[in-house]
């Protein structure tokens, strides 16, 4: 049996998240496994780096599966894409050793949360970003970031249905970028709790509108009580944009995306 790693991009707007559910519920995993099974000519079960929620997107999801089918890297990519719906695409495929595991081998995961800040709601991309009609002060939001960096108990930023064994995570990187009406929150951690990025975004947007002071982000963190946190931001602006692994696996190093972001934001890494 050979192990194949793949990079997957998808628009999660029309799916009930990544993970396969009961029959009749449309998920990204179900579509990907169906397409790969056609190429492999046998049932395929995949493991992913991070299970995204309903409405959440990915430009850098990583998966792996085992197969006895012999196909070229190009064969896996083009064969699967020909069988996938238009809003899911395999970006690359690479044979890896059986020591590779998409989930347990991930060193870090990176997300981007894209906010459209304007008084008028957008007619386009309305499921690819989050609209906030109140003016956001990005400098105030940036002042809140240092309190969240490092290793902490993120219970206050954890979804109430989160099943993670521990709320302690290490946030390696947290930054805000602005280009005209677009604001991009970027976060990288060893792992994320359910709704963690969306809850951070909710707190930051409250600070940006002046509803709370920058110190509130740290106060919420210290409280270790989800009830004291902000509103969970919508899923539409959230993207899993990258997963880091041991360099020994030599996986492709692609731009984070999403590709439609303007200028340097679309390819910054």
Catalytic residue set: 53
Dist. CA 149–CA 152, nearest whole Å: 8
Alpha helices (H) along the chain: 28-40, 73-83, 138-143, 196-208, 216-223
Surface-to-core class of residue 39, CB atoms within 10 Å of its CB (0-12 exposed, 13-18 middle, 19+ buried):
buried
User: Which of helix, strand or coil describes residue 147?
Assistant: helix
Q: For residues 220 and 157, is the Cβ–Cβ distance under 8 A?
A: yes
**CA neighbor of 117 nearest in space, from 141, 135, 137, 129:** 135
């Amino acid at each position: 049996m050979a192990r194949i790693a793949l990079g997957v991009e998808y628009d999660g707007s029309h799916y009930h998240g990544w993970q396969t559910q009961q029959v009749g519920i449309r998920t990204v995993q179900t579509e990907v496994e169906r397409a790969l099974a056609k190429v492999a000519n046998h049932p395929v079960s995949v493991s992913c780096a991070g299970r995204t929620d309903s409405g959440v997107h990915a430009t850098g999801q990583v998966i792996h599966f085992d197969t006895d089918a012999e196909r070229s890297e190009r064969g896996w990519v083009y064969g699967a894409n020909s069988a996938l719906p238009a809003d899911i695409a395999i970006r690359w495929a690479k044979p890896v050793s059986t020591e590779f595991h998409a989930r347990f081998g991930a060193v870090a995961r990176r997300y981007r949360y894209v906010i459209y800040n304007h008084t008028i709601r957008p007619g386009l991309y309305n499921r690819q970003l989050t609209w906030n009609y109140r003016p956001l002060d990005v400098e105030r939001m940036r002042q809140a970031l240092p309190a969240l960096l490092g290793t902490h108990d993120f219970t206050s930023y954890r979804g109430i249905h989160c099943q993670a064994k521990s709320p302690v995570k290490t946030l390696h990187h947290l930054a805000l970028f602005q280009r005209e009406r677009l604001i991009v929150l970027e976060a990288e951690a060893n792992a994320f709790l359910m709704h963690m990025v969306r809850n951070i975004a909710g707190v930051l947007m409250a600070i940006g509108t002046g509803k709370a002071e920058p110190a509130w982000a740290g106060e919420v963190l210290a409280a270790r009580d989800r009830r004291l946190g902000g509103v969970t931001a919508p899923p539409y602006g959230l993207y899993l944009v990258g997963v880091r692994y041991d360099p020994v696996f030599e996986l492709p190093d692609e731009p984070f995306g999403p590709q439609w972001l303007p200028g340097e934001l679309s390819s910054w890494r």
